[in-house]
Amino acid sequence: MGLDMYLNKMPRYGSTTPTQIYALEKYLGWKDNHEARKYSLKEWCGVEYKNVPRGKTREFYESFYSIKYYPWDKEKRFPHGSIIDEVGYWRKANQIHNWFVNHVQHGVDDCEYHNEVTKEILEKLLDICQRVLNSCEMVDGQIKNGYTMNQDGQRIPIMEEGKYIKDSSVAEKLLPNCSGFFFGGTDYDEYYIADIKSTIDIITRVLETTDFEKEMIYYVSSW
C-alpha cells in the first residue's frame, strides 16, 4: 500500500490514447484466455468492449503485443501480454509525483492517464532535478525513517543517524514534497536526495532510448 509511480512507453498511432491502448491490451489477453472467456470482458478486467480500438488502429497495435516482464521481475517469473512498456518506476517519491501532477495533470491527482509527457517536459524535469541536486549540501544528523505506535496508539517517529540537507530552500521551491495517503516522508534528507538521483537516472535513460516521433511517454500513479 502506498504511492506507486510509473512512466510508460507505448507506440504512437494517430490520436490513439493510452486508455485505448490499455483497453486493447486487456482485450487481447482476454480473448485468448480460456478461463477468462467464461466471463465478459468487463467482468474479467473492468474494460468496456466499446472502448477497445478497432480496424487499422487495432491491427497496428496488435503487432506490438507480446509477452513481457516487469523490470523488477529479474527471474522472469511473471510473464504478461502487453503493448505498453514500463520504463520508469518510483515508490513514494512524492516530490516527483507532485511535479507531474502540477505540470502534466493540471493539478488533478486521480490515478488516471492525462497528457503526454513530451521530450521537452522530461528535459525540464531533468534540469530541475540537477539544479536541486547541485544546491544540496548534506550534513550529518538525525533523520526520520518511518513510524511506530506507542501504547496509546500515537504515532512516534523512528529516528536514526543519517544525512539531511543543510539548506533546503532551493529544493522546497523547485521540487517541494507533498503529503498524501501513504505518500512517504516529507523531510528534506538523504531519502529525498535518493529519489532525485533515481529520477535523473530514469529520465536520462528514457531520453536516450525513446523515439518521440514514433513513441509516447505517459505518467500514471496509484495508491
Instruction: Report, as ranges of residue numbers, the positions in the chain whose pLDDT lies below 50.
Output: none
d(CA 115, CA 125): 15
Residue 175 in grid coordinates: 521540487
Closest CA to 223 of 110, 116, 145: 110
**pLDDT tens per residue across span 45-88:** 999 999 999 999 999 999 999 999 988 888 999 999 999 999 99
| pLDDT score at 149 | 79
**DSSP-assigned beta bridge partners for residue 85:** 9
| pLDDT score at 52 | 97
Contact 183/1 with Cβ under 8 angstroms? no
d(CA 198, CA 201): 5
| pLDDT score at 205 | 98
**Longest CA pairwise span in the chain (Å):** 63
Q: What is the reported pTM? A: 0.92
Relative to beta strand 138-149, strand 66-68 is: unpaired
| pLDDT score at 152 | 76
| pLDDT score at 9 | 98
CA 95 to chain centre: 12
In the block, residue with C-alpha cell 474494460? 47
| pLDDT score at 189 | 97
Closest CA to 211 of 100, 119, 114, 117: 119
In the block, residue with C-alpha cell 497495435? 61
**DSSP-assigned beta bridge partners for residue 108:** none
Q: What single-letter amino acid sits at 102?
A: N
**DSSP-assigned beta bridge partners for residue 219:** 7
